Amino acid sequence: VSDFLVGLLLMPAEILRSTTCWVLGDLMCSVYWYLMGNIICASIGNIVLISVDRYVAICDPLHYRTRITVKRTKLSVCLCWFYAIFYWSLYIKNILIEPGRYNSCYGECMFVSSDIAGIIDLFLAFIVPLSVIIVLYMRVFVAAVSQARAMRSHVTSVTLQHSSNQAKKSELKAARTLGVLVVVFLLCYSPFYCYYLAEENVVNDPSASTVIIIFYINSCLNPLIYALFYPWFRNAVKLIVTLQVFKYSLHPG
């Protein structure tokens, strides 16, 4: 939902803000910045929750069903959104109280944050989530490698070579997935925060619109990484696109 809202609401608004005159008024400008912070923060929080889910599933599979329940999942997602709303409400409280506060003329949609607030946001929205994701996925990768090696040590000499090749493929797949997750997150978020450190008001710089769009593109790539990597999901999409889903629904048996 958060990634979908980025494409539905934030990207069109950012294209409008960076390419033409903002004609939606100061109130809608404040709404845009408020939604931007909430949705992006929630998206990052969901990525962290998914990494926790994978960590428990791989490193403690016997207790997965008791620890990751539907109730706890719903509660975690709700808390993630409430945190995003609370955090960003504090971060941009000035323009919520006084819309258009940082606009110097009609047609602008500006937001200015202090250096301290920017550094805090850098840690809370980038460094801390990235650190959690890397630590959890590294532990997942180590556990996956250990399990693969344990499987190789318990096979007979006849099937040893085949099992070794399968285990190596599993290790390479786990390493590739881990690399893609971390690299995509870095590629999408690093330019924005690097630009912010070099240029204080990155969101108000017309030349930085490309950086902000790349920042948003992470939400476009998330569904590809977290969903399309699963064979069962690809098969489900194939059934839907080819309309075979109706065939199977007519014959539930």
Radius of gyration of the chain (CA): 22
CATH of 2-229, one of 3.30.300.130, 1.20.1070.10, 2.60.40.10, 3.90.550.10: 1.20.1070.10
Q: Which residues of the chain have pLDDT under 70?
A: 148, 151-178, 199-208, 228, 230, 248-253
pLDDT at 160: 47
Closest CA to 44 of 189, 172, 163: 189
pLDDT at 122: 86
pLDDT at 84: 94
Domain ranges of the chain: 2-229
Helix 11-19 / helix 209-226 crossing angle, nearest 10 deg: 160
pLDDT at 77: 95
Q: 100: alpha, beta or left, given left = phi > 0 and alpha = psi -120 to 50?
A: left
Query: How many Cβ atoms are within 10 Å of 194's Cβ, its own excluded?
Result: 12
The 10s digit of each residue's pLDDT in 195-243 is 777 765 555 566 667 788 888 888 888 878 777 676 777 787 788 888 8
Burial of residue 59 (number of CB atoms within 10 Å: 0-12, 13-18, 19+): middle
pLDDT at 253: 46
Say how far residue 210 (Cα) sits from the centre of its chain.
19
pLDDT at 157: 45
Q: What is the DSSP letter of 98?
A: S
